[in-house]
A and B are shown apart, each in its own frame.
Chain A
Amino acid sequence: MKLTKYITMAALLSLLACSEPLKVEPLTYTQIFSGQTKKTWTIRNIQQVQNGKGTQTFSLDDCITDDQYVFSNDFQKTYQVLDGNNKCNADDPNLISDSSWSFVNATATLTIVMPLLSDSPLPFIVKDIDDTKMTLDIYIDAENTTAYRFNFKSVSGD
Protein backbone atom coordinates (compact mmCIF):
# COMPACT_ATOMS: atom_id res chain seq x y z
CA MET A 1 0.00 0.00 0.00
CA LYS A 2 2.75 2.38 1.02
CA LEU A 3 4.73 1.35 -2.02
CA THR A 4 1.81 2.22 -4.28
CA LYS A 5 1.54 5.61 -2.64
CA TYR A 6 5.24 6.31 -3.17
CA ILE A 7 5.13 5.18 -6.78
CA THR A 8 2.14 7.42 -7.43
CA MET A 9 3.93 10.33 -5.81
CA ALA A 10 7.06 9.61 -7.83
CA ALA A 11 5.14 9.45 -11.08
CA LEU A 12 3.46 12.75 -10.32
CA LEU A 13 6.74 14.42 -9.48
CA SER A 14 8.32 13.01 -12.64
CA LEU A 15 5.68 14.71 -14.68
CA LEU A 16 6.09 17.99 -12.88
CA ALA A 17 9.86 18.03 -12.53
CA CYS A 18 10.89 19.07 -16.03
CA SER A 19 7.63 20.11 -17.56
CA GLU A 20 6.99 23.63 -18.73
CA PRO A 21 5.74 25.96 -16.03
CA LEU A 22 2.12 26.82 -16.38
CA LYS A 23 2.21 30.34 -17.63
CA VAL A 24 0.68 32.11 -20.55
CA GLU A 25 3.09 32.67 -23.38
CA PRO A 26 2.38 35.26 -26.03
CA LEU A 27 1.36 33.74 -29.33
CA THR A 28 4.24 35.46 -31.03
CA TYR A 29 6.89 33.68 -28.99
CA THR A 30 8.02 31.18 -31.60
CA GLN A 31 8.01 33.77 -34.35
CA ILE A 32 11.70 34.28 -33.69
CA PHE A 33 12.13 31.06 -35.68
CA SER A 34 9.45 31.61 -38.28
CA GLY A 35 8.72 35.31 -38.54
CA GLN A 36 5.05 36.26 -38.81
CA THR A 37 4.52 33.98 -41.77
CA LYS A 38 7.81 32.49 -42.91
CA LYS A 39 11.50 32.84 -42.17
CA THR A 40 14.47 31.45 -44.07
CA TRP A 41 17.77 30.48 -42.51
CA THR A 42 21.05 29.30 -44.01
CA ILE A 43 23.96 27.54 -42.34
CA ARG A 44 27.02 29.71 -41.73
CA ASN A 45 29.17 26.91 -40.41
CA ILE A 46 29.18 23.64 -38.54
CA GLN A 47 31.40 22.89 -35.59
CA GLN A 48 32.27 19.86 -33.55
CA VAL A 49 32.56 20.91 -29.93
CA GLN A 50 34.37 18.59 -27.55
CA ASN A 51 34.55 19.32 -23.85
CA GLY A 52 38.17 19.96 -22.96
CA LYS A 53 39.36 19.35 -26.51
CA GLY A 54 38.25 22.50 -28.23
CA THR A 55 36.21 23.16 -31.29
CA GLN A 56 36.73 22.13 -34.87
CA THR A 57 35.00 24.20 -37.51
CA PHE A 58 34.17 22.45 -40.76
CA SER A 59 34.60 24.40 -43.96
CA LEU A 60 31.43 24.14 -45.99
CA ASP A 61 31.04 24.17 -49.72
CA ASP A 62 28.75 26.73 -51.34
CA CYS A 63 26.41 23.88 -52.19
CA ILE A 64 25.72 23.50 -48.46
CA THR A 65 25.76 27.11 -47.32
CA ASP A 66 23.17 28.20 -49.86
CA ASP A 67 20.62 25.57 -48.79
CA GLN A 68 17.56 27.23 -47.27
CA TYR A 69 15.90 26.14 -44.05
CA VAL A 70 12.40 27.58 -44.14
CA PHE A 71 10.30 27.77 -40.96
CA SER A 72 6.63 28.63 -41.52
CA ASN A 73 4.32 30.03 -38.90
CA ASP A 74 1.30 28.13 -40.18
CA PHE A 75 -0.85 25.78 -38.13
CA GLN A 76 1.18 22.74 -39.16
CA LYS A 77 4.48 24.50 -38.44
CA THR A 78 5.70 23.58 -41.90
CA TYR A 79 9.45 23.19 -42.29
CA GLN A 80 11.23 22.79 -45.59
CA VAL A 81 14.86 22.43 -46.61
CA LEU A 82 15.44 23.72 -50.13
CA ASP A 83 18.53 23.08 -52.21
CA GLY A 84 20.19 26.32 -53.27
CA ASN A 85 21.40 27.27 -56.72
CA ASN A 86 24.69 25.50 -56.09
CA LYS A 87 23.97 21.82 -56.08
CA CYS A 88 26.44 19.34 -54.63
CA ASN A 89 25.21 16.86 -57.24
CA ALA A 90 23.44 17.83 -60.43
CA ASP A 91 20.55 15.46 -59.74
CA ASP A 92 19.93 16.62 -56.16
CA PRO A 93 16.23 17.44 -55.64
CA ASN A 94 15.18 21.05 -55.10
CA LEU A 95 13.17 20.06 -52.04
CA ILE A 96 15.46 18.17 -49.70
CA SER A 97 13.04 17.85 -46.80
CA ASP A 98 9.38 18.66 -46.25
CA SER A 99 8.22 18.18 -42.69
CA SER A 100 7.37 20.23 -39.60
CA TRP A 101 9.18 21.92 -36.76
CA SER A 102 8.43 22.16 -33.06
CA PHE A 103 9.90 24.00 -30.13
CA VAL A 104 9.66 23.24 -26.41
CA ASN A 105 10.46 26.33 -24.44
CA ALA A 106 11.08 24.59 -21.11
CA THR A 107 13.93 22.53 -22.52
CA ALA A 108 14.94 24.93 -25.31
CA THR A 109 14.53 22.05 -27.71
CA LEU A 110 13.94 22.67 -31.40
CA THR A 111 13.03 19.54 -33.31
CA ILE A 112 13.74 19.66 -37.03
CA VAL A 113 15.11 17.52 -39.83
CA MET A 114 18.75 18.25 -40.46
CA PRO A 115 19.51 16.48 -43.75
CA LEU A 116 23.26 16.72 -43.16
CA LEU A 117 22.80 14.40 -40.17
CA SER A 118 19.61 12.44 -40.64
CA ASP A 119 16.41 12.19 -42.64
CA SER A 120 14.46 11.98 -39.38
CA PRO A 121 13.64 14.86 -37.03
CA LEU A 122 16.31 15.47 -34.40
CA PRO A 123 16.05 17.37 -31.10
CA PHE A 124 18.46 20.31 -31.04
CA ILE A 125 19.30 22.51 -28.08
CA VAL A 126 18.81 26.16 -28.95
CA LYS A 127 22.01 27.68 -27.57
CA ASP A 128 21.45 31.14 -28.93
CA ILE A 129 18.95 32.91 -31.11
CA ASP A 130 18.03 36.41 -32.12
CA ASP A 131 16.47 37.92 -35.20
CA THR A 132 19.54 37.34 -37.35
CA LYS A 133 21.38 34.31 -36.03
CA MET A 134 20.69 30.97 -34.41
CA THR A 135 22.94 28.35 -32.84
CA LEU A 136 21.76 24.77 -32.42
CA ASP A 137 23.58 21.95 -30.62
CA ILE A 138 23.03 18.23 -30.59
CA TYR A 139 25.11 15.75 -28.65
CA ILE A 140 26.58 12.76 -30.41
CA ASP A 141 27.66 10.75 -27.40
CA ALA A 142 25.64 9.57 -24.44
CA GLU A 143 28.09 11.20 -22.06
CA ASN A 144 27.22 14.61 -23.54
CA THR A 145 30.86 15.51 -24.08
CA THR A 146 30.80 16.02 -27.84
CA ALA A 147 28.25 17.93 -29.84
CA TYR A 148 27.64 19.20 -33.33
CA ARG A 149 26.96 22.91 -33.42
CA PHE A 150 25.05 24.40 -36.35
CA ASN A 151 25.36 28.17 -36.74
CA PHE A 152 22.64 29.73 -38.85
CA LYS A 153 21.94 33.19 -40.15
CA SER A 154 18.56 34.45 -41.28
CA VAL A 155 18.38 35.52 -44.89
CA SER A 156 14.74 36.55 -45.17
CA GLY A 157 11.64 36.77 -43.06
CA ASP A 158 8.91 39.06 -41.90
Chain B
Amino acid sequence: MINVRKTLSIIFVIALSLTMACEMDKRLFEGPYFVRFTDESVTQKESHSAPIEVQVHYAGPAPKSDVSINYSISGTARPGIDYVINGTPGKVKIKSGSYFGTIEVQLINNANNILRSQNIVFQLITIDNDTDGTQVGQGKSQIGNTFTLTINDDCILGGNYYGIHDNTDVPIEGITITSSDCENYTLSNWDIYIFQFAQIRSLTFIDNGDNTVTIPPQHDTTLGSTNNIIDGSGVVDPTTRIITMTVRLVDYENSPSFTFQLIPD
Protein backbone atom coordinates (compact mmCIF):
# COMPACT_ATOMS: atom_id res chain seq x y z
CA MET B 1 0.00 0.00 0.00
CA ILE B 2 1.19 3.44 -0.82
CA ASN B 3 1.45 5.70 2.18
CA VAL B 4 -0.20 8.84 0.79
CA ARG B 5 0.89 11.05 3.67
CA LYS B 6 4.49 9.95 3.35
CA THR B 7 4.46 10.44 -0.45
CA LEU B 8 3.03 13.91 -0.14
CA SER B 9 5.63 14.82 2.45
CA ILE B 10 8.42 13.69 0.17
CA ILE B 11 7.00 15.61 -2.79
CA PHE B 12 6.71 18.72 -0.63
CA VAL B 13 10.30 18.43 0.53
CA ILE B 14 11.50 17.93 -3.05
CA ALA B 15 9.56 20.93 -4.31
CA LEU B 16 10.79 23.11 -1.44
CA SER B 17 14.35 22.01 -2.02
CA LEU B 18 14.23 22.77 -5.72
CA THR B 19 12.73 26.18 -5.07
CA MET B 20 15.29 27.06 -2.42
CA ALA B 21 18.17 25.84 -4.52
CA CYS B 22 17.20 28.02 -7.47
CA GLU B 23 16.41 31.02 -5.26
CA MET B 24 20.03 31.02 -4.11
CA ASP B 25 21.13 31.97 -7.60
CA LYS B 26 20.51 35.73 -7.75
CA ARG B 27 22.21 37.97 -10.22
CA LEU B 28 21.55 41.16 -8.32
CA PHE B 29 23.42 44.39 -7.84
CA GLU B 30 23.30 44.79 -4.08
CA GLY B 31 25.22 47.98 -3.71
CA PRO B 32 26.68 50.08 -2.41
CA TYR B 33 24.01 52.11 -4.15
CA PHE B 34 24.87 55.55 -5.42
CA VAL B 35 23.58 58.58 -7.25
CA ARG B 36 25.27 59.90 -10.35
CA PHE B 37 24.67 61.96 -13.44
CA THR B 38 23.42 59.74 -16.23
CA ASP B 39 25.66 61.48 -18.76
CA GLU B 40 29.11 62.96 -18.46
CA SER B 41 28.61 65.99 -20.66
CA VAL B 42 26.43 67.69 -23.25
CA THR B 43 27.08 70.52 -25.69
CA GLN B 44 24.36 72.88 -26.90
CA LYS B 45 24.20 76.14 -28.77
CA GLU B 46 22.97 79.10 -26.80
CA SER B 47 20.08 79.38 -29.26
CA HIS B 48 18.72 76.04 -28.04
CA SER B 49 15.35 77.21 -26.79
CA ALA B 50 13.93 74.15 -25.05
CA PRO B 51 14.99 73.56 -21.43
CA ILE B 52 17.90 71.14 -21.13
CA GLU B 53 17.23 68.29 -18.75
CA VAL B 54 20.33 67.17 -16.89
CA GLN B 55 19.48 63.75 -15.56
CA VAL B 56 20.54 62.41 -12.17
CA HIS B 57 20.22 58.67 -11.72
CA TYR B 58 19.78 56.45 -8.65
CA ALA B 59 21.93 53.36 -9.24
CA GLY B 60 20.11 50.77 -7.22
CA PRO B 61 16.51 49.74 -6.57
CA ALA B 62 14.07 52.63 -6.83
CA PRO B 63 14.22 54.49 -3.50
CA LYS B 64 11.27 54.10 -1.14
CA SER B 65 11.34 57.76 -0.14
CA ASP B 66 12.35 60.93 -1.96
CA VAL B 67 16.10 61.41 -2.32
CA SER B 68 17.16 65.04 -2.19
CA ILE B 69 20.64 65.65 -3.55
CA ASN B 70 22.68 68.82 -3.15
CA TYR B 71 24.87 69.91 -6.00
CA SER B 72 27.28 72.74 -6.72
CA ILE B 73 27.45 74.88 -9.85
CA SER B 74 30.67 76.27 -11.27
CA GLY B 75 32.11 77.04 -14.69
CA THR B 76 32.49 80.05 -16.91
CA ALA B 77 28.84 80.57 -17.86
CA ARG B 78 27.06 83.28 -15.89
CA PRO B 79 23.78 82.57 -14.08
CA GLY B 80 21.05 84.97 -15.11
CA ILE B 81 23.02 86.07 -18.18
CA ASP B 82 23.89 82.86 -19.97
CA TYR B 83 21.48 80.47 -18.27
CA VAL B 84 18.83 80.04 -15.61
CA ILE B 85 18.21 76.97 -13.46
CA ASN B 86 14.50 76.24 -13.35
CA GLY B 87 13.41 75.19 -9.87
CA THR B 88 15.67 75.39 -6.84
CA PRO B 89 19.31 75.78 -7.84
CA GLY B 90 21.58 73.46 -5.88
CA LYS B 91 18.98 70.79 -5.17
CA VAL B 92 17.66 67.95 -7.29
CA LYS B 93 15.14 65.37 -6.16
CA ILE B 94 14.64 61.75 -7.15
CA LYS B 95 11.10 60.93 -6.13
CA SER B 96 10.25 57.72 -4.33
CA GLY B 97 9.67 54.87 -6.72
CA SER B 98 11.60 56.62 -9.47
CA TYR B 99 15.12 56.14 -10.69
CA PHE B 100 15.70 59.59 -12.13
CA GLY B 101 15.62 63.25 -11.23
CA THR B 102 16.39 66.21 -13.47
CA ILE B 103 18.04 69.59 -13.22
CA GLU B 104 16.39 71.85 -15.76
CA VAL B 105 18.60 74.44 -17.43
CA GLN B 106 17.21 77.19 -19.62
CA LEU B 107 19.82 78.77 -21.86
CA ILE B 108 19.63 82.49 -22.55
CA ASN B 109 20.33 83.44 -26.13
CA ASN B 110 22.46 86.56 -25.91
CA ALA B 111 24.06 86.08 -29.32
CA ASN B 112 26.34 88.93 -30.32
CA ASN B 113 28.23 87.41 -33.25
CA ILE B 114 31.24 86.69 -31.03
CA LEU B 115 31.75 82.97 -31.15
CA ARG B 116 33.22 81.23 -28.15
CA SER B 117 32.00 78.78 -25.55
CA GLN B 118 31.23 78.71 -21.87
CA ASN B 119 30.40 75.88 -19.56
CA ILE B 120 28.39 74.99 -16.51
CA VAL B 121 29.91 72.32 -14.26
CA PHE B 122 27.51 70.52 -11.95
CA GLN B 123 28.87 68.42 -9.10
CA LEU B 124 26.78 66.23 -6.83
CA ILE B 125 27.89 66.86 -3.25
CA THR B 126 25.68 65.34 -0.57
CA ILE B 127 22.35 63.63 0.01
CA ASP B 128 19.93 65.08 2.56
CA ASN B 129 18.90 62.84 5.45
CA ASP B 130 20.40 59.74 3.91
CA THR B 131 20.06 56.73 6.17
CA ASP B 132 20.73 54.06 3.57
CA GLY B 133 24.39 54.77 3.01
CA THR B 134 23.76 55.92 -0.55
CA GLN B 135 26.96 57.22 -2.06
CA VAL B 136 27.54 60.18 -4.33
CA GLY B 137 29.24 58.85 -7.46
CA GLN B 138 30.60 55.32 -7.70
CA GLY B 139 33.63 54.29 -5.71
CA LYS B 140 36.52 56.26 -4.36
CA SER B 141 36.87 58.34 -7.49
CA GLN B 142 33.14 59.12 -7.37
CA ILE B 143 32.52 58.16 -10.99
CA GLY B 144 29.60 60.10 -12.42
CA ASN B 145 29.37 62.86 -9.81
CA THR B 146 30.24 65.60 -12.32
CA PHE B 147 28.41 66.82 -15.40
CA THR B 148 29.58 69.53 -17.79
CA LEU B 149 27.19 71.47 -19.98
CA THR B 150 29.09 73.33 -22.69
CA ILE B 151 27.29 76.28 -24.25
CA ASN B 152 28.49 77.26 -27.67
CA ASP B 153 27.78 80.83 -28.69
CA ASP B 154 25.62 81.20 -31.75
CA CYS B 155 25.34 83.89 -34.39
CA ILE B 156 22.59 86.48 -34.04
CA LEU B 157 20.40 84.88 -36.65
CA GLY B 158 21.30 81.30 -35.76
CA GLY B 159 18.90 78.93 -34.06
CA ASN B 160 15.68 77.00 -34.43
CA TYR B 161 12.69 78.53 -36.15
CA TYR B 162 9.24 77.70 -37.34
CA GLY B 163 7.88 79.07 -40.56
CA ILE B 164 4.53 80.44 -41.69
CA HIS B 165 3.28 81.76 -45.01
CA ASP B 166 -0.01 83.14 -43.74
CA ASN B 167 -1.13 83.77 -40.21
CA THR B 168 -3.62 80.94 -40.59
CA ASP B 169 -0.96 78.39 -41.48
CA VAL B 170 -0.03 75.56 -39.20
CA PRO B 171 3.60 76.45 -38.46
CA ILE B 172 6.24 74.31 -40.11
CA GLU B 173 8.65 73.31 -37.35
CA GLY B 174 12.19 72.09 -37.25
CA ILE B 175 13.71 74.82 -39.39
CA THR B 176 17.27 75.79 -38.52
CA ILE B 177 19.54 78.65 -39.44
CA THR B 178 23.25 78.00 -39.00
CA SER B 179 26.46 79.84 -39.67
CA SER B 180 30.12 79.42 -38.91
CA ASP B 181 31.12 83.04 -39.50
CA CYS B 182 27.96 85.00 -38.56
CA GLU B 183 27.83 86.50 -42.05
CA ASN B 184 26.97 83.63 -44.39
CA TYR B 185 24.02 81.59 -43.18
CA THR B 186 22.24 78.42 -44.27
CA LEU B 187 18.48 78.14 -43.97
CA SER B 188 17.52 74.47 -43.73
CA ASN B 189 14.14 74.78 -45.48
CA TRP B 190 12.51 77.59 -47.42
CA ASP B 191 9.58 75.63 -48.84
CA ILE B 192 7.06 77.18 -46.46
CA TYR B 193 3.72 76.43 -48.13
CA ILE B 194 5.18 77.45 -51.49
CA PHE B 195 4.84 74.32 -53.58
CA GLN B 196 1.90 71.95 -53.63
CA PHE B 197 4.20 69.01 -53.03
CA ALA B 198 6.44 70.31 -50.31
CA GLN B 199 9.94 69.08 -49.77
CA ILE B 200 13.00 70.21 -47.90
CA ARG B 201 14.77 72.97 -49.86
CA SER B 202 17.69 74.83 -48.33
CA LEU B 203 19.31 78.11 -49.31
CA THR B 204 22.15 80.34 -48.24
CA PHE B 205 21.84 84.00 -47.40
CA ILE B 206 24.02 86.84 -46.22
CA ASP B 207 23.46 89.00 -43.15
CA ASN B 208 24.03 92.56 -44.37
CA GLY B 209 24.47 93.79 -40.80
CA ASP B 210 21.69 96.35 -41.09
CA ASN B 211 18.73 94.12 -40.26
CA THR B 212 18.43 93.04 -43.86
CA VAL B 213 19.53 89.86 -45.54
CA THR B 214 20.32 89.02 -49.14
CA ILE B 215 19.72 85.72 -50.85
CA PRO B 216 22.32 85.73 -53.61
CA PRO B 217 21.47 83.99 -56.89
CA GLN B 218 21.98 80.27 -56.41
CA HIS B 219 20.97 76.98 -57.95
CA ASP B 220 18.43 74.87 -56.13
CA THR B 221 18.56 71.37 -57.61
CA THR B 222 15.28 70.40 -55.93
CA LEU B 223 13.66 72.55 -58.63
CA GLY B 224 15.22 70.54 -61.43
CA SER B 225 18.56 70.25 -63.13
CA THR B 226 17.99 73.42 -65.20
CA ASN B 227 16.10 76.66 -64.72
CA ASN B 228 16.60 76.33 -61.01
CA ILE B 229 18.00 79.70 -59.95
CA ILE B 230 16.56 81.44 -56.92
CA ASP B 231 17.41 84.71 -55.23
CA GLY B 232 15.74 87.09 -52.84
CA SER B 233 16.00 89.27 -49.79
CA GLY B 234 14.68 89.68 -46.29
CA VAL B 235 14.36 91.89 -43.24
CA VAL B 236 15.01 91.12 -39.60
CA ASP B 237 13.03 92.53 -36.71
CA PRO B 238 15.82 93.05 -34.14
CA THR B 239 13.35 93.00 -31.27
CA THR B 240 11.50 89.80 -32.04
CA ARG B 241 14.20 88.23 -34.24
CA ILE B 242 11.46 87.38 -36.75
CA ILE B 243 12.85 87.17 -40.27
CA THR B 244 10.58 88.01 -43.19
CA MET B 245 12.08 86.51 -46.30
CA THR B 246 11.14 86.71 -49.97
CA VAL B 247 12.37 84.08 -52.40
CA ARG B 248 12.16 84.64 -56.15
CA LEU B 249 12.10 81.82 -58.70
CA VAL B 250 14.23 83.57 -61.26
CA ASP B 251 13.88 81.11 -64.14
CA TYR B 252 10.14 80.59 -63.83
CA GLU B 253 7.72 82.48 -66.03
CA ASN B 254 7.33 86.03 -64.69
CA SER B 255 9.80 85.14 -61.92
CA PRO B 256 7.22 84.67 -59.19
CA SER B 257 8.24 85.46 -55.63
CA PHE B 258 7.01 84.15 -52.32
CA THR B 259 7.21 85.69 -48.87
CA PHE B 260 7.23 83.82 -45.58
CA GLN B 261 8.15 84.45 -41.99
CA LEU B 262 10.67 82.61 -39.84
CA ILE B 263 9.82 82.88 -36.15
CA PRO B 264 12.33 81.91 -33.45
CA ASP B 265 11.24 78.71 -31.75
- Residues of A at under 8 Å CB distance from B? 6, 9-11, 13-15, 17-18, 48, 58-61, 63-64, 88-89, 92, 107, 109, 115-119, 122-125, 137-142, 144, 146, 148
Docked CA distance A148–B33 (Å)? 13
28 contacts between A and B (CB under 8 A): A6-B13, A9-B17, A11-B17, A13-B13, A13-B14, A13-B18, A15-B21, A17-B17, A17-B18, A17-B21, A18-B22, A58-B39, A59-B38, A61-B39, A61-B40, A64-B40, A89-B146, A115-B138, A115-B139, A118-B31, A123-B26, A125-B27, A137-B27, A138-B27, A140-B28, A142-B61, A146-B99, A148-B29
Q: Give the size category of B's interface with A.
A: 35 or more
Taking A48-B99, A88-B143, A139-B27 as contacts, is the C-beta distance between A13 and B21 under 8 angstroms?
A: yes
- In the complex, what's the smallest C-beta–C-beta distance from A155 to chain B, in angstroms? 20
A6 CB contacts on chain B under 8 angstroms: 9-10, 13
Q: Which of A15, A59, A89, A140 is in CB contact (< 8 Å) with B39?
A: A59
**Taking the complex as formed, is B25 at the interface, i.e. its CB lies under 8 A from any CB of chain A?**
yes
Q: Which 7 pairs, one residue from A and one from B, show the smallest C-beta to C-beta distance? A: A61-B40, A17-B21, A141-B61, A14-B21, A10-B17, A13-B17, A123-B27
Q: Taking CB as reference atom, which chain A residue is nearest B31? A: A118
Q: Which of A18, A107, A116 is in CB contact (< 8 Å) with B143?
A: A116
- Residues of B at under 8 Å CB distance from A? 9-10, 13-14, 16-18, 20-22, 24-29, 31-32, 38-41, 57, 59-62, 99, 138-141, 143-144, 146
Docked CA distance A140–B61 (Å)? 5
B59 CB contacts on chain A under 8 angstroms: 117, 140
The reply to whether B29 and A14 form a contact with Cβ atoms under 8 Å apart is no
Which applies to chain A's interface (DSSP): helix, strand, loop or mixed? mixed
The reply to whether B61 and A58 form a contact with Cβ atoms under 8 Å apart is no
- In the complex, what's the smallest C-beta–C-beta distance from B44 to chain A, in angstroms? 13
Taking A10-B17, A63-B40 as contacts, is the C-beta distance between A119 and B22 under 8 angstroms?
A: no
The reply to whether B18 and A117 form a contact with Cβ atoms under 8 Å apart is no
Taking A18-B21, A142-B61 as contacts, is the C-beta distance between A118 and B38 under 8 angstroms?
A: no
The reply to whether B141 and A139 form a contact with Cβ atoms under 8 Å apart is no
The reply to whether A138 and B41 form a contact with Cβ atoms under 8 Å apart is no
- In the complex, what's the smallest C-beta–C-beta distance from B241 to chain A, in angstroms? 30
The reply to whether B17 and A139 form a contact with Cβ atoms under 8 Å apart is no
The reply to whether A58 and B38 form a contact with Cβ atoms under 8 Å apart is yes
**New contact pairs (18) apart from A122-B29, A140-B60, CB-CB < 8 Å:** A13-B14, A13-B21, A17-B17, A17-B21, A61-B39, A115-B138, A115-B139, A117-B138, A118-B31, A118-B139, A119-B139, A124-B27, A138-B29, A139-B27, A142-B61, A144-B28, A146-B61, A146-B99
Q: Taking CB as reference atom, which chain A residue is nearest B42? A: A59
